[in-house]
């Protein structure tokens, strides 16, 4: 059975082992998730798609308001509409992904008050989605580079909702299918050291 922690390199994929090093024990899932740009033609089953959306929707949220909304594009027509609002750099690689999911969130609480936590909560939901996708052998890549006004208008998103990111979902493809400049970047990214981001007691910058 798979161990729940890794210390530090067991159960990492070979490319992750090469590029990422954890300072402390952590489930390999967290390191094995990374955001590729090369996607394969292979379709994502509805079972897997709804599994990752199910995971996202079990994220915690302030007052359990669940402000996140997921707009899914999986048919040719839906995907073409999404491609229209991606910035060209992102469109170049993301149009190969078989599924795109726009993550939005309601700025207002169910009781009508402003919800100061809506973006935080939507971010948690995207994180859950990405982790469940990794468990299913799928890859994800969040895209903030898209025309929000165009997306809002094409998808009829009301003004009460903020648009955060389009998530590309699919199976990894061959690096060689990407433009040369993107091939160089098709590797798991690294991280700052923990001491740069963790403070005990109070922040000390």
Ligand X SMILES: Cc1cc2nc3c(=O)[nH]c(=O)nc-3n(C[C@H](O)[C@H](O)[C@H](O)COP(=O)(O)O)c2cc1C
Binding site for ligand X (CB under 6 A): 34-35, 90, 141-145, 165, 188-189
* Residue 46 or 174 having the CB closest to ligand X: 174
How near is the Cβ of 95 to ligand X at its closest, in Å?
13
* Residue 113 or 179 having the CB closest to ligand X: 179
How near is the Cβ of 51 to ligand X at its closest, in Å?
20
How near is the Cβ of 123 to ligand X at its closest, in Å?
8
Spatial separation of the C-alpha atoms in residues 8 and 15, rounded to whole Å: 14
Angle between helices 46-57 and 118-135 (to 10 degrees): 140
* Residue 77 or 137 having the CB closest to ligand X: 137
Map residue 19 onto helix, strand or coil.
Answer: helix
Question: E strands within the chain?
Answer: 68-73, 99-106, 139-143, 161-170
- Within 13 Å, how many C-alpha atoms sit on residue 52's CB side? 29
* Residue 68 or 200 having the CB closest to ligand X: 68
How near is the Cβ of 112 to ligand X at its closest, in Å?
28
Q: Which of 159, 163, 62 shows the shortest CA–CA distance to 120?
A: 62
């Amino acid at each position: 059975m798979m161990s729940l922690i890794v210390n530090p390199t067991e159960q990492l994929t070979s490319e992750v082992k090469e590029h990422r090093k954890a300072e402390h024990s952590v489930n390999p899932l967290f390191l094995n998730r990374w955001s590729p740009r090369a996607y394969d033609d292979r379709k994502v089953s509805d079972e897997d798609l709804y599994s990752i959306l199910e995971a996202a929707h079990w994220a915690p949220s302030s007052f359990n308001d669940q402000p996140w909304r997921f707009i899914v594009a999986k048919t040719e027509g839906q995907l073409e509409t999404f491609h229209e609002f991606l910035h060209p750099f992102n469109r170049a690689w993301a149009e190969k992904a078989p599924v795109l999911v726009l993550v939005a969130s309601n700025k207002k609480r169910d009781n009508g008050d402003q919800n100061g936590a809506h973006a935080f909560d939507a971010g948690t939901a995207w994180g859950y989605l990405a982790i469940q996708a990794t468990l299913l052998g799928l890859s994800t890549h969040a895209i903030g580079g898209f025309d929000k006004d165009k997306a809002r208008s094409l998808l009829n998103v009301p003004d009460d909702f903020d648009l955060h990111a389009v998530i590309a979902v699919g199976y990894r493809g061959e690096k060689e299918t990407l433009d040369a400049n993107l091939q160089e970047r098709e590797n798991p990214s690294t991280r700052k050291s923990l001491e740069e981001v963790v403070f005990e007691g109070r922040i000390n910058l």
